[in-house]
């Protein structure tokens, strides 16, 4: 973060000083985890379900923090935030699962992030925001990697994309930062609009409109309404990068006053992919076609769906001055960054583990299954394919049907073995039922009660050369299966 005194921070957030004259200068990072505080940092005290961050205020200052952003008085130099939020506060952040003091602290954090971002934009910072139902984190990682060669780039780790992660990431920017790449998530209408108030984007990209969080939004039309808030927030001299292959996204062109750039395989796309090929590990290569020329791209990430993500990243880079050749070279050099997203690892015995277990929705599971099918059939003889699938969350009334569809797709893709983990509280059983209803399967689909049972089955039946995909919503922690398989492969 840029250097600010506690007095300046109090003025920005409308707070009051406590146990300080305000002269302490924040020169380090902003942290809400007391274990990560750095010398000169600002500690954000958030009340939690089990512990209250305020209880660690004295300790973090003893550890070197310059001060604390707090909801009530603590035994340390602090800025005490206003206790009441108003709807007229332009930096107000809707925290659906946070109320009272916690919401007040988050709103103050958002105000601080807005102040810092505005100051840096006035210097030389460009804010890039992206959203979509699936692929946000992978695309964010690609964008950050294609921009980094031309200037310091800040992006969130993993999927830190909510009302906490958004301002936290924005406050990572300094006077030396050239690009701030932000991933925007939403659980309802208005969420993205509020995040855009925290760090207003100059470039906004929308990847797709799927069914992730449909249980909270109610319909794909509402999801499109919410995702489109990003392009509505763009200034007239900004750029909206839209997926030309998704009709609900392409239609967002009418909702922005910014320049519109279409990216996709469609013939009318401004940034296109042609001559797409997949290698034996489902890594795509394609010709990047633009009005400024063509260039060949060979991605180091896995899955045909990564072509769309790469085109969005290329479009952003081109708008920020890269040539097609530079965009292609940087995309080809990019590698997976965020963990548990199509991580492909070969065990010494020849078993390939595809750990895509960070999260799951119908669109991302379909993409992962298609990648698994590609990997298994890339050699002769074909490799045996395993799909270890758990529940997908937040699908509302469509949950059973969506899980059933995934089971049927596994049969149509001729996945050899399906292991369905019937975790408590999910609808994964419908995957198993859908597989049996789609085809005359015998033991190809197996329903197991938990992660331990899945691990035991795989350890007993995996053979050298098999390919195993592991995927479920993160609440069910199915990455334990992938980690156990990789650990077993080293023994």
Q: For residues 394 and 204, which has the higher predicted lDDT (pLDDT)?
A: 204
pLDDT in tens, 399-416: 999 999 999 999 999 999
pLDDT > 90 fraction of the chain, expressed in percent and rounded: 88
* Residues 412, 289 share a domain: no
Adjacent-strand bridge partners of 204: 129, 240
Distance CA 220, CA 210 (A): 7
On the question of pLDDT at 10 being above 90, the answer is yes
Helix axes 362-377, 399-412, angle to 10 degrees: 10
- Tell how far CA 374 is from the center of its chain: 25
| pLDDT for residue 97 is more than 60 | no
Does some domain include residue 53?
yes
- Which domain covers residue 129, as residue numbers? 124-333
Predicted pLDDT of residue 90: 43
Give mean pLDDT, residues 53-61. 97
Interatomic CA distance for residues 468 and 355, integer angstroms: 8
Same domain, 290 and 438: no
Task: Kindly report the backbone phi and psi dihedral angles of residue 442, in degrees, each rounded to the nearest multiple of 5, phi listed first.
Answer: -105, -95
Q: According to the model, what pLDDT value does residue 95 have?
A: 44
Looking at residue 89, its pLDDT comes to: 53
Given 333, 357, 389, the domain boundary residue is 333
For the cut 90, the answer to whether the pLDDT of residue 256 exceeds it is: yes
Asked whether residue 325 falls in the same domain as residue 445, the answer is no
Q: What per-residue confidence (pLDDT) applies to 321?
A: 98
Arithmetic mean of pLDDT, 461-472: 97
Count of C-beta atoms within a 10 Å radius of residue 35:
9
pTM over 0.75, yes/no: yes
Same-domain status, 429 and 391: yes
Angstrom distance (rounded) from CA 393 to CA 339: 20
Domain presence at residue 435: yes
Q: Which residues contact 77 (CB under 8 A, 6 or more apart)?
A: 6, 17, 18, 19, 20, 24, 61, 66, 67, 68
Please state the rounded mean pLDDT for residues 248-266: 98
- pLDDT at residue 99 is higher than 60: no
Q: Above pLDDT 70, what percent of the chain?
A: 95
Which among 405, 396, 401, 440 is positioned nearest to 218, based on CA atoms? 396
Structure tokens belonging to residue 331: 């995309």
In the 8-state DSSP scheme, what is residue 9? H
Position 410 scores a pLDDT of 96
What is the Cβ-side half-sphere exposure of residue 333, based on CA atoms within 13 angstroms? 13
Q: What is the pLDDT of residues 314-365, one digit of tens each?
A: 999 999 999 999 999 999 999 999 999 999 999 999 999 999 999 999 999 9
Same domain for 316 and 347? no
Q: Are residues 266 and 363 in the same domain?
A: no
> What does the CA dihedral 161, 165, 170, 173 come to, rounded to 10 degrees?
-110
The reply to whether 110 falls in a domain is no
Give the pLDDT score at 489.
63
Tell me what the mean pLDDT of segment 47-69 comes to.
95
Say what the pLDDT of residue 434 is.
Answer: 95
CATH for 34: 3.40.1390.10
In the block, residue with structure tokens 């007040």? 104
Residues 328 and 371 in one domain: no
Residues 282 and 196 in one domain: yes
Per-residue pLDDT, 88: 52
Please say whether the beta carbons of 180 and 173 come within 8 A: yes
Structure confidence by residue, pLDDT tens digits, 172-211? 999 999 999 999 999 889 999 999 999 999 999 999 999 8
Task: State how far the Cα of 488 lies from the Cα of 491, in Å rounded to an integer.
Answer: 6
Q: Which residues, 6+ apart, have CB-to-CB distance to 122 below 8 Å?
A: none
Domain-embedded: residue 116: no
The reply to whether 113 falls in a domain is no
pLDDT band at 91 (very low <50, low <70, confident <90, very high): very low
Secondary element (H or E) of residue 141: helix 136-147
Residue 444 and residue 297 in one domain:
no
The dihedral over CA atoms of 78, 82, 85, 86, expressed in degrees to the nearest 10, equals -130
Pair 139, 245 in one domain: yes
- Whether 384 and 321 map to the same domain: the answer is no
Q: Is 343 helix (H, G, I), strand (E, B) or coil?
A: strand
Convert the pLDDT of each residue in 382-392 to its tens digit. Answer: 999 999 999 99
- Alpha-carbon span 165 to 112, nearest angstrom: 13
Do 321 and 349 have their domain in common? no
Whether 295 maps to a domain, the answer reads yes
Residue 352's SS3 state is: strand
pLDDT value for 443: 76
Q: Is the pLDDT of residue 102 over 50?
A: yes
């Amino acid at each position: 973060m840029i250097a600010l005194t506690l007095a300046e921070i109090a003025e920005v957030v409308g707070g009051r000083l406590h146990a300080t004259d305000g002269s302490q200068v924040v020169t380090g990072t902003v942290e809400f985890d007391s274990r990560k505080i750095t010398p000169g940092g600002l500690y954000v005290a958030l009340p939690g379900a089990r512990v209250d961050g305020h209880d660690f205020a004295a300790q973090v200052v003893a550890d070197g923090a310059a001060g604390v952003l707090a909801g009530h008085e603590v035994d340390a130099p602090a800025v005490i935030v206003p206790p009441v939020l108003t709807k007229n506060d332009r930096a107000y952040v809707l925290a659906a699962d946070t109320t009272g003091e916690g919401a007040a602290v988050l709103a103050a954090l958002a105000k601080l992030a807005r102040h810092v971002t505005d100051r840096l934009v006035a210097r030389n910072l460009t804010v890039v925001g992206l959203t979509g139902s699936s692929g946000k984190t992978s695309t964010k990682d690609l964008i950050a990697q294609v921009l980094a060669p031309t200037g310091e780039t800040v992006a969130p780790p993993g999927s830190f994309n909510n009302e906490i992660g958004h301002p936290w990431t924005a406050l990572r920017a300094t006077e030396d930062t050239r690009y701030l790449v932000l991933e925007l998530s939403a659980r309802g209408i208005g969420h993205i609009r509020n995040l855009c108030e925290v760090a207003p984007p100059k470039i906004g990209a929308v990847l797709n409109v799927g069914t992730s969080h449909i249980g909270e939004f109610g319909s794909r039309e509402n999801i499109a309404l919410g995702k489109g808030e990003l392009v509505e927030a763009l200034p007239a001299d900004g750029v909206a990068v839209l997926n030309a292959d998704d009709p609900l996204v392409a239609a967002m062109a009418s909702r922005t006053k910014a320049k519109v750039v279409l990216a996709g395989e469609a013939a009318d796309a401004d940034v296109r992919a042609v001559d797409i090929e997949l290698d034996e590990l489902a890594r795509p290569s394609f010709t990047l076609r633009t009005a400024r020329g063509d260039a060949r791209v060979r991605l180091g990430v896995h899955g045909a769906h990564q072509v769309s993500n790469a085109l969005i990243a290329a479009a952003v880079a081109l708008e920020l001055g890269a040539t097609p050749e530079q965009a292609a070279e940087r995309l080809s050099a990019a590698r997976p960054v965020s963990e548990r997203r199509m991580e492909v690892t070969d065990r010494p015995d020849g078993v390939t583990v595809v750990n895509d277990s960070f999260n799951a929705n119908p669109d991302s599971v379909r993409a992962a299954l298609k990648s698994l099918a590609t990997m298994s059939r890339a050699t002769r003889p074909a490799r045996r394919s395993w799909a270890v699938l758990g529940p997908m969350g937040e699908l509302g009334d469509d949950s059973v049907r969506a899980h059933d569809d995934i089971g049927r797709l596994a049969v149509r893709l001729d996945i050899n073995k399906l292991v369905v983990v019937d975790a408590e509280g999910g609808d994964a059983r419908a995957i198993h039922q859908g597989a049996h209803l789609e085809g005359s399967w015998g033991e190809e689909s197996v329903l197991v009660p938990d992660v331990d049972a899945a691990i035991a089955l795989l350890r007993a039946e995996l053979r050298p050369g098999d390919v195993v995909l592991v995927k479920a919503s993160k609440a069910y922690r199915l990455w334990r299966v992938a980690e156990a398989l990789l650990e077993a492969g080293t023994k």
